[in-house]
Amino acid sequence: MQGGGTQGSERPSITPRTSHRTRRPQLSRPRISQDYLNRNRDERIMRAVIAHVAESGYQKASVSALVRRAGVARNTFYTAFRGKEHAFTAAFEWIVERVEVEVRESGDVVGALVDFVHCEPDAARCALIEAPAAIPASYDTSIARAVEKTDLGEPLARMVVGGVEAILRRAAGKGESIDLEGLRAFVAPHFESRVPA
């Protein structure tokens, strides 16, 4: 054939697709332990409890507002906590543990407590203003632990701890500044010798 036609009746061959395509290797996601996920969830809920209670007060706080603020489902909240009081108690104990770690690491009881009030006003408000009324048993236990760490007798230690508590509570409630050096000079000699290393 002339004139630009194709020779013969041959068609170009089409290679059939095979069912086994070359696939990109899938990147595997690192496995995150369920324990880690639960701790992260619980911490988010406790941070939401602290922020909400500091803002609204314990009595006005609701589980609905807490789960919304934490970004978790209501069922997830109840998987971790029995209710508002249980979540607030857990948040309070978490705050106390963090303060105790700061005290141990710094060796400065008064400085760590004052820093806590200034650096974490929501947590300080929860621990010093809301907790005594909302969860008195947990609050009294934490005060008793503080008293045990002094080298004073029980009645005098309760007075000193109570005085420091009152000063910090006023500062947390009103945003007042604290005379750190004066407070440290008064309290430190009774606590510094008992701070665990």
In sequence order, the 6+-apart residues with CB closer than 8 A to the CB of 180 are: 110, 111, 114
Q: Which two tokens stand for residue 44?
A: 């988010």
Q: Which residue has the higher pLDDT, 165 or 196?
A: 165
Q: Which two tokens stand for residue 39?
A: 């701790």
- Given a contact cutoff of 8 angstroms between Cβ atoms, the answer to whether 38 and 74 are in contact is no
Q: List, for residues 117-170, the tens digit of each pLDDT value.
A: 778 888 988 888 888 888 888 888 887 777 676 665 666 666 666 767 777 767
CATH 3.40.50.970 at 35-194, yes or no: no
Name the one residue in this structure whose structure tokens are 């690491």: 105
The DSSP annotation for 32-76 comes to --HHHHHHHHHHHHHHHHHHHHHHH-TTT--HHHHHHHHT--HHH
Q: List, for residues 71-108, the tens digit of each pLDDT value.
A: 999 999 999 899 999 999 999 999 988 888 887 888 77
How far apart (Å, rounded) are the C-alpha atoms in residues 117 and 175?
A: 9
- Rounded to an integer, the average pLDDT of 158-184 is 65
CA geometry: angle 66, 68, 71, nearest 5 deg: 105
Give the pLDDT of residue 103.
Answer: 78
How far apart (Å, rounded) are the C-alpha atoms in residues 62 and 170?
A: 26
Our CA dihedral for 85, 91, 96, 100, rounded to 10 degrees, sits at 150
Give the pLDDT of residue 53.
Answer: 94
Residue 194 has pLDDT above 50, yes or no: no
The confidence band for 195, taking pLDDT boundaries of 50, 70 and 90, is very low
How far apart (Å, rounded) are the C-alpha atoms in residues 111 and 165?
A: 13
Give the pLDDT of residue 191.
Answer: 55
Nearest to 42 by CA among 95, 91, 99, 102: 91
